[in-house]
Amino acid sequence: MITDVEAASAVAVAALRESTPRPLRWAVIGYGFIGRRHVASLDQLPGARVVAVCDVSDARLAEAREAKPGIATYDSVARLLGEASVDAVVVATPNRTHAEIVIAAAHAGKHILCEKPAALDVAELDAMLSAVAESGVRFTVHQQRRLDKDYCTVKAAVESGALGEVYTIQSSLYGYNGRMHDWHVYTNEGGGMLYDWGVHMIDQALDLVDSELVSVWAEVRNVINDEVDDYFKILMCFANDVVVELELGTYFLADRDGWFDRHWYVGGSTGALQADGFDPAGAIVRTTALLENVAHDQDKSAASYGPTRSFGVPRPGLIATEPLPTVEVDHAEFYTDMLDAWRDGRDSRVRAAEVRRVLAVMEAARESSRTRMSIDCSHINKEVLR
């Protein structure tokens, strides 16, 4: 006897395997800031067409109908998921609702793109992945900041070998007034900056460093927001001896040009990289004289040094800079890769195992902050799902 779930799954899979594939018919659940962006992005693709949106707000549904005449609107997730005219859904609702909606969508036979963080913890994600596997539908998480220009520029420089053997990476993002939006300021909605931006910065770090994670130390706190974290510092130590420092503060003040932006520093054995901004400006920096080349002919007079012999102002010509080659990016690649992967039956750019690893690191960060101790992460492996 064929169950309703099996029947729905068969329809969803068939939509991906048609010899002349028609556009997948999408519904976006949650028509807020990010939901609207998903509608606009998907409608630009030849392999996708947004046919419906779902939201609890009548005003937002009215805005959707005005923005896209003829679109179907729903105020009930259950009713939407019962529609055979929908092949796939975007889950763009508050974080606490992701697991429930993804599981229901999988059981309804819908392919799923879920906003980050996919879940509040590893246990939730495991339940979601079980439902996806049982239903035979496709599932991807919107970790789109792997395609940010600043990150892709840094990754290209590291992978080119231009910096030699990398030993330290600093990734940071600063704001000036503690600003967070909508439900992100509420704990019971899954708010806070670790869920909002930490998930991206951790994902980038794990993607950038090709090694197993050994340990995590973190400080996660709310500085001026009543309920949720608005500051974190995370140290990630890897088996290849690379140390990654992540820092974010929504109230992190400095009177410097470009301070309230994205920042990177990567130190290597033959040079360093500094990059500032989401559209990064920066340089590769080198020294023209290493210690072994000058150790035996140093001027021993005090006038040749700065405040200390090791840490003074370098003489002119000792520091050389090279232009930082930037990488052009297109966030549409996230969607095209996802659709191609779904049709080809392969993994998309963001794999479930990698999502699970990110959530495990976030759990370790919270535990470290709570206990004031470094957390052993040797059990976390990006290739294996428990």
CA torsion sign, 239 to 240 to 241 to 246?
Answer: negative
The count of residues in the chain is 386
213: Cα separation from own chain's centroid: 17
Kindly provide the residue ranges of all beta strands, DSSP E only, lying in 117-212, ordered along the sequence.
139-142, 166-174
- DSSP class of residue 192? S
| Per-residue confidence (pLDDT) for residue 22, from 0 to 100 | 85
| Per-residue confidence (pLDDT) for residue 84, from 0 to 100 | 96
Give the residue carrying structure tokens 């990064």: 280
Q: Global pTM?
A: 0.90
Give the residue carrying structure tokens 């029947």: 7
Give the residue carrying structure tokens 């392969």: 346
| Per-residue confidence (pLDDT) for residue 114, from 0 to 100 | 99
**pLDDT tens by residue, the chain, 386 residues:** 445 555 555 556 556 656 457 899 999 999 999 999 999 999 999 999 999 999 999 999 999 999 999 999 999 999 999 999 999 999 999 999 999 999 999 999 999 999 999 999 999 999 999 999 999 999 999 999 999 999 999 999 999 999 999 999 999 999 998 877 788 888 888 889 999 999 999 999 999 999 999 999 999 999 999 899 999 999 999 999 999 999 999 999 999 999 999 999 999 999 999 999 999 999 999 988 765 555 455 555 554 556 676 777 778 888 899 999 999 999 999 999 999 999 999 999 999 999 999 999 999 999 999 999 999 999 886 444 44
Same fold, 4-142 and 146-331+363-371: no
CATH value of 146-331+363-371 in 3.30.70.3270, 3.30.360.10, 3.30.70.2740, 2.40.40.20: 3.30.360.10
Q: Per-domain residue ranges for the chain?
A: 4-142, 146-331+363-371
| Per-residue confidence (pLDDT) for residue 275, from 0 to 100 | 98
b or e along 170-203 (b: 16 or more beta carbons within 10 Å of the residue's beta carbon)?
ebbbbbeebebeebbbbeebbbbbbbbbbbbbbb
| Per-residue confidence (pLDDT) for residue 208, from 0 to 100 | 98
**Domain boundaries 4-142, corresponding CATH code:** 3.40.50.720
| Per-residue confidence (pLDDT) for residue 127, from 0 to 100 | 98
| Per-residue confidence (pLDDT) for residue 212, from 0 to 100 | 95
| Per-residue confidence (pLDDT) for residue 383, from 0 to 100 | 46
Three-state DSSP state, 336 = helix
Q: How far is CA 70 from CA 42, 61, 66, 76, 234, in A?
A: 16, 12, 9, 18, 47
Dihedrals phi, psi of 239, to nearest 5 degrees: -65, -25
| Per-residue confidence (pLDDT) for residue 313, from 0 to 100 | 79
Measure the CA–CA gap between 57 and 61, rounded to whole angstroms.
6
